[in-house]
Amino acid sequence: MAPQTQGIHHVTAISGEPQRNVDFYVGVLGMRLVKKTVNFDDPETYHLYYGDGAGSPGTIMTFFPWAHAPRGRIGAGQLIVTSFSIPATSLGYWTERLVEKGVRFEKPRDRFGETVLTFEDPDGLRTELVAAEDGRAGYREGPVPAEHSVRGLHHVALAVEATERTAKLMTDSLGFRQVAETEGRVRFAAGEGGPGALVDVVGAADFPRGAMGVGTVHHVAFRVPDEGAQLAVREEVAALGYNVTPVLDRNYFRSIYFREPGGVLFEIATDPPGFAVDEDPDHLGESLKLPPWLEKNREQIEAALPPLRVPVEESA
Ligand code: ZN
């Protein structure tokens, strides 16, 4: 049987100034900062993780804040939109909240029977809220009341010049199946399907090529239950000729990376061990966590990072 992934694990994007990033994802979208660590490949830069209360796979959005990096350009060969789900009954709450927080959004529209609000985060990252049936809990103790909280990732949209090759990789080797189609867009689902397990592939033959930088997505990670399943995917894509990395220890999950035929960087990440591996689940994200191999440089790393303040909702 072909290897399987169960949907989205996380999305990682590049932001500018870190405080502005925290202010938006916690203060506006109401997600929990579940981990404050550094980019393991560039330890003097933060790596910030947002998610539901536990940072469950499928709810995680992460950022490398590169305060001085140039703005990127959204285009072909990229993940062009990251969508979060909100309860179907919370559309009114969210339109009001976005207006109140000064976030300009486009006219709500329908996609595959669900209403979508589209806006940019403070660094120009294309983001959506999709009003959906979603049984996940979201972050229940955050700045947004539990009944309205963001439930997690809904789907991601990849823009690729030749959709067939990307589609073939997803269906033949990553466990996705086609579930819907509309003009220029095909939706795939993995595992149990539904929000958090959906990927849209958008035909981008006439799009300009994207360029990596602030306000663009760096990669999308798909989830596997364990390292065995990860190795099965690794073997499969290596046999197909993809240039796949060895298994890397990301402390909160194990990862492999390869570029899909359209140019988007894919990661396959394990569900375990998760964010409670080095921090009390009640205090996730409160202190700077470093992997064991960087602890010896803590003093120097801390000195290079700006302090961050996590917003709490001002009482009305
Ligand atoms: Zn990643």
Using the mean position of ligand 1's atoms as its centre, give its distance from the Cα of residue 218 in Å.
8
Q: What percentage of the chain carries pLDDT values higher than 90?
A: 96
Q: How far is the CA of 51 from the centre of ligand 1 (A)?
A: 14
Percent of the chain whose pLDDT exceeds 70: 99
Question: Was domain 8-304 assigned CATH 3.10.180.10?
Answer: yes
For the chain, give the mean pLDDT.
96
What's the CA gap between 183 and 301, in Å, rounded? Answer: 48
Above 60 in pLDDT, residue 314? Answer: no
Q: What's the gap in Å between 307 CA and the centre of ligand 1?
A: 23
What pLDDT does residue 67 have?
86
Cα(251) to ligand 1 centroid in Å equals 11
Per-residue pLDDT band for 268 (boundaries 50, 70, 90) equals very high
Q: What is the pLDDT of residue 3?
A: 80
Model confidence at 312, pLDDT cuts 50, 70, 90, reads confident
Q: Is the model's pLDDT at 106 over the cut of 90?
A: yes
Residue 236 half-sphere exposure, CB side, CA atoms within 13 Å?
Answer: 19
Long-range contacts of 285-288 (CB under 8 A, 24+ apart): 285/32, 285/33, 285/34, 285/35, 285/36, 285/49, 285/310, 286/36, 286/310, 287/36, 288/36, 288/37, 288/38
Range 278-302 average pLDDT: 96
Query: Can you tell me the distance from the alpha carbon of 149 to that of 237, in angstroms, rounded to the nearest whole number?
Result: 37
Rounded to the nearest angstrom, the distance between the alpha carbon of 220 and the centre of ligand 1 is 6
User: pLDDT (tens digit, 9 = 90+) per residue, 220-254?
Assistant: 999 999 999 999 999 999 999 999 999 999 999 99
Distance 179 CA to ligand 1 centre (A): 25
What mean pLDDT is predicted for residues 293-312?
95
Angle between the 227-239 and 163-173 helix axes, to the nearest 10 degrees? 140
209: DSSP letter: B
pTM higher than the cut 0.75: yes
314 Cα to the center of ligand 1, angstroms: 32
Q: Cβ contacts of residue 68 below 8 Å, gap of 6+?
A: none
Using a 10 angstrom Cβ sphere, with 0-12 exposed, 13-18 middle and 19 or more buried, the burial of residue 231 is middle
Is residue 313 over pLDDT 80?
A: no
Cα of 210 from ligand 1 centre, angstroms: 19
Residue 174 has pLDDT above 90, yes or no: yes
Q: What tens digit of pLDDT does each residue of 80-104 get? A: 999 999 999 999 999 999 999 999 9
The amino acid that residue 283 corresponds to is: H
In the predicted model, what is the mean pLDDT of residues 186-203? 97
Q: 316 pLDDT band (50/70/90 cuts)?
A: very low
Q: How far is the CA of 11 from the centre of ligand 1 (A)?
A: 7
Domain ranges of the chain: 8-304
Q: How much is the pLDDT for 126?
A: 97
What is the reported pLDDT for 2? 74
**How many angstroms separate the alpha carbon of residue 48 from the centre of ligand 1?**
11
Centre of ligand 1 to C-alpha 190, Å, is 18
